[in-house]
């Protein structure tokens, strides 16, 4: 089954409008999906109309920080829309994102790389949540980097001149807030964690699933995370983490076995 429960529009750091992203899903044969922007649910304020027959669930990716890891938590379900505690958490994260961008720009300027916050904002004119990708795009446009990957590698990763640690909510807070609202919390791209013991720690705090099916997970990773999910009583999900066709050349959608995704589908469409 081809699904996609992890994608980004220009409401955060993607390049397509919510409508264009929904149309891309349809054109790619993906009829069961979520738009999961970073720290904003604004795609679900009437910004797009899904194709007839599509099954779409409200989604979000919440950036969290814990023990030196960037831990991203995906949340799903219509219950998240309009929930006051979820809204407060997202507002906090967006404010912290803004402070982080300002510090990055300040460090880069002091290091001789003359971009401004206004330059960063121009890379995300519709974005409700600015972040490192927007800073990276500003560096590329200014000629300091050839592409986003080199911008991150040479300027924005730990130990580089533009790196600033994030000060988002903890994954525990994100998971518990999603669960209290009635949503389903899933750990995004667990293969990108430096410390896999975090998965075991988060499971008792209301984590419901692992994003086992992910483009950067090889067959061994998929098998490991499916087995880890079974061990901890969690569901599995899948998503392409699409932002921009220039960098995500495989587009949207990811194949997941029907029996593997079935419990997740039942849970999120009931949330």
pLDDT in tens, 111-168: 999 999 999 999 999 999 899 999 999 999 999 999 999 999 999 998 999 999 888 8
The pLDDT score that the predictor gives to residue 69 is 86
Tokens found for residue 157: 């990763």
pLDDT band at 271 (very low <50, low <70, confident <90, very high): confident
The pLDDT score that the predictor gives to residue 227 is 98
DSSP string over 93-155: HHHHHHHHHHHHHHHHHHTT----HHHHHHT-TT-SS--HHHHHHHHHHTTS-SSHHHHIIII
* Antiparallel, parallel or unpaired: β 184-187 and 69-76: antiparallel
The pLDDT score that the predictor gives to residue 247 is 86
Return the number of other C-beta atoms located less than 10 Å from residue 125's C-beta: 7
- Report all structural domains of the chain as residue ranges with CATH numbers, in order of start: 2-81+169-268 (3.20.20.140), 90-156 (1.10.150.650)
The pLDDT score that the predictor gives to residue 168 is 85
The pLDDT score that the predictor gives to residue 179 is 98
Tokens found for residue 64: 């969290």
The pLDDT score that the predictor gives to residue 26 is 98
The pLDDT score that the predictor gives to residue 65 is 84
pLDDT digits (tens, 9 = 90+) for 181-221: 999 999 999 999 999 999 999 999 999 999 999 999 999 99
The pLDDT score that the predictor gives to residue 167 is 82
CA dihedral 100, 146, 24, 50 (to 10 degrees): 10
Phi, psi angle pair for 203, to nearest 5°: -55, -45
pLDDT band at 4 (very low <50, low <70, confident <90, very high): very high
Statement: the pTM of the whole predicted model exceeds 0.95:
no
**Position 238 pLDDT exceeds 90:** yes
pLDDT digits (tens, 9 = 90+) for 96-110: 999 999 999 999 999
């Amino acid at each position: 089954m081809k699904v996609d429960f992890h994608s980004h529009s220009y409401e955060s750091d993607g390049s397509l409008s919510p409508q264009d992203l929904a149309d891309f899903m349809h054109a790619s044969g993906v009829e069961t999906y979520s738009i999961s922007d970073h720290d904003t649910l604004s795609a679900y304020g009437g910004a797009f109309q899904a194709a007839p027959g599509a099954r779409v669930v409200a989604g979000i990716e919440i950036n969290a920080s814990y023990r030196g890891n960037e831990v991203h938590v995906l949340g799903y379900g219509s219950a998240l829309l309009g929930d006051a505690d979820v809204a407060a958490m997202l507002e906090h994260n967006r404010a912290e994102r803004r402070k982080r961008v300002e510090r990055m720009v300040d460090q880069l300027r002091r290091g001789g790389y003359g971009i401004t916050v206004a330059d960063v904002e121009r890379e995300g004119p519709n974005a409700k949540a600015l972040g490192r990708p927007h800073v990276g795009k500003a560096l590329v446009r200014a000629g300091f980097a050839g592409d986003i990957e080199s911008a991150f590698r040479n300027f924005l990763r730990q130990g580089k001149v533009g790196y600033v640690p994030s000060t988002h909510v903890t994954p525990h807070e994100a998971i518990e807030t999603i669960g209290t609202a009635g949503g389903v919390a899933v750990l995004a791209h667990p293969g990108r964690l430096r410390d896999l013991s975090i998965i075991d720690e988060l499971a008792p705090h209301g984590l419901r699933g692992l994003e086992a099916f992910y483009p950067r997970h090889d067959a061994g990773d998929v098998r490991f995370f499916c087995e880890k999910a079974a061990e901890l009583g969690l569901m599995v999900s899948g998503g392409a983490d699409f932002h921009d066709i220039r960098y995500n050349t495989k587009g949207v959608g990811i194949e997941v076995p029907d029996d593997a995704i079935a419990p997740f589908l039942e849970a999120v469409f009931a949330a």
